[in-house]
Amino acid sequence: MAVSIKALPGILPDHEIRRLAAAGMIKPFREDIRQAGKISFGLQPFGYDVRLAPELLVLRHDASFVDPKRLARHHYERLSPRRDGTLLLPPRAFALGRTIETISLPHDITALVLNKSTLARSGILVHTTVLEAGWSGTITLEITNLNHVPAVLHPSEGIAQVLFFRGTAPPEADYAARGGLYQGQQGITPPKVRSK
């Protein structure tokens, strides 16, 4: 019995990501974009590098503690681009950002968001997060400046890589069917906890 290559489980290669992007998985979709003086983004051999949107929410330093069940937008300070278009993340600061791209995952594909090596080598950490099968929205990014000096972030350039994985079978209920709290998010979304 012949098995279709595109139906096999595992990490998705560039041609499969391109095919799914054409069906709406990544909007806007770009081929591998490498320009002098810019952090690359777009299609990679086994992933897709997403871009940073031009805004950050920086966690305020005057909080006495951080409780993920109680964090709200007022616990963050909005950081807008400087005159040169860059964002300046203070030393040892934590911020939420978002991607320019909207991701809409099919019911049999889940994804991991990982740091780009260019940022990691600069002491800028984009935390690993999971995008569940069936999830859709812009990705809220969790970014930490590990340095003792401010870190410059470059909107509209690469910020993280997304790896896509097909499961051995579709789940019984994907993220959308389970009524996930972050389904359809647009913009930067602070942590949420179900109220009932």
88-104 per-position pLDDT tens digit: 999 999 999 999 999 99
List beta partners, residue 131. Answer: 111
Q: Is 77 an active-site residue?
A: no
Q: Tell me, yes or no, whether 193 lies in a domain.
A: no
Question: Does the pLDDT value for residue 4 go beyond 60?
Answer: no
Q: Tell me, yes or no, whether 125 lies in a domain.
A: yes
Residue type, 32: D
Tens of pLDDT, residue by residue over 11-54, are: 999 999 999 999 999 999 999 888 999 999 999 999 999 999 99
Q: Tell me, yes or no, whether 88 lies in a domain.
A: yes
Q: Tell me, yes or no, whether 15 lies in a domain.
A: yes
Q: Pick the catalytic residue: 101, 132, 142, 157? A: 142
Q: Is the pTM of this model over 0.85?
A: yes
Q: Report the SS3 class of residue 15.
A: helix
Judged on CB neighbours under 10 Å (0-12, 13-18, 19+), 84 is exposed
